[in-house]
């Protein structure tokens, strides 16, 4: 399977965000107020959008938000490729850190990339989250 990662519009992320992250909420729930100013990555497997991630830079840090991979494409390295690209972009910008609020169930993925838990778990609705962060070296 050939996978390509490209920048996409925030609008292109919405259906996949909704389907994977918050299917029981309205589509508008999946929108981030800062979407228009972010960088949005899409992974395409055989020309089908299968993974999205949104990146936001503030205060010398890059934040990853709304990272989602279609269930049938999980476990195939696609999300890892997108996460690797996101961290590379943060490094190339010379930023001090990369972070996200991760679903606790996905924290293992972030740990494999060197992110560490910062603080105590918290909840968004009924879903437990943890803050994960990586200090970037120049």
Residue with tokens 């399977």: 1
Q: Containing domain of residue 118, as a range?
A: 3-135
What is the C-alpha to C-alpha distance for residues 115 and 97, in angstroms, rounded to an integer? 10
Please count the other Cβ atoms lying within 10 Å of the Cβ belonging to residue 82.
Answer: 23
Question: Which segments of the chain does DSSP mark as H helices, in order?
Answer: 10-21, 78-92, 107-112
What is the C-alpha to C-alpha distance for residues 43 and 62, in angstroms, rounded to an integer? 19
Whether residue 97 contacts residue 114, with contact meaning beta carbons closer than 8 Å, is answered with: no
CATH assignment at residue 78: 3.40.630.30
Q: Residue 91 has what pLDDT?
A: 96
Q: Residue 138 has what pLDDT?
A: 62
DSSP 8-state code for residue 106: G
Of 120, 5, 126, 116, give the one whose Cα is nearest residue 67: 5
Total domain count, the chain: 1
Chain segment 39-59, per-residue pLDDT in tens: 999 999 989 999 999 999 999
User: Which residues of the chain are under the pLDDT cut of 50?
Assistant: none
């Amino acid at each position: 399977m050939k996978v390509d990662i490209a920048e996409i519009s925030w609008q292109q992320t919405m259906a996949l965000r909704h389907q994977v992250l918050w299917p029981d909420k309205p589509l508008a729930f999946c929108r981030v107020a800062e979407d228009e100013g972010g960088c949005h990555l899409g992974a395409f497997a055989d020309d089908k959008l299968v993974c999205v991630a949104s990146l936001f830079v503030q205060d010398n840090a890059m934040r990853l938000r709304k990272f989602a991979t279609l269930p049938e494409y999980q476990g195939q390295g696609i999300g890892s490729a997108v996460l690797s690209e996101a961290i590379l972009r943060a490094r190339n910008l010379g930023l001090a850190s990369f972070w996200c609020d991760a679903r606790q169930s996905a924290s293992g993925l972030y740990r494999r990339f060197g992110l560490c838990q910062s603080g105590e778990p918290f909840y968004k609705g009924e879903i437990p989250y943890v803050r994960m962060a990586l200090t970037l070296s120049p």
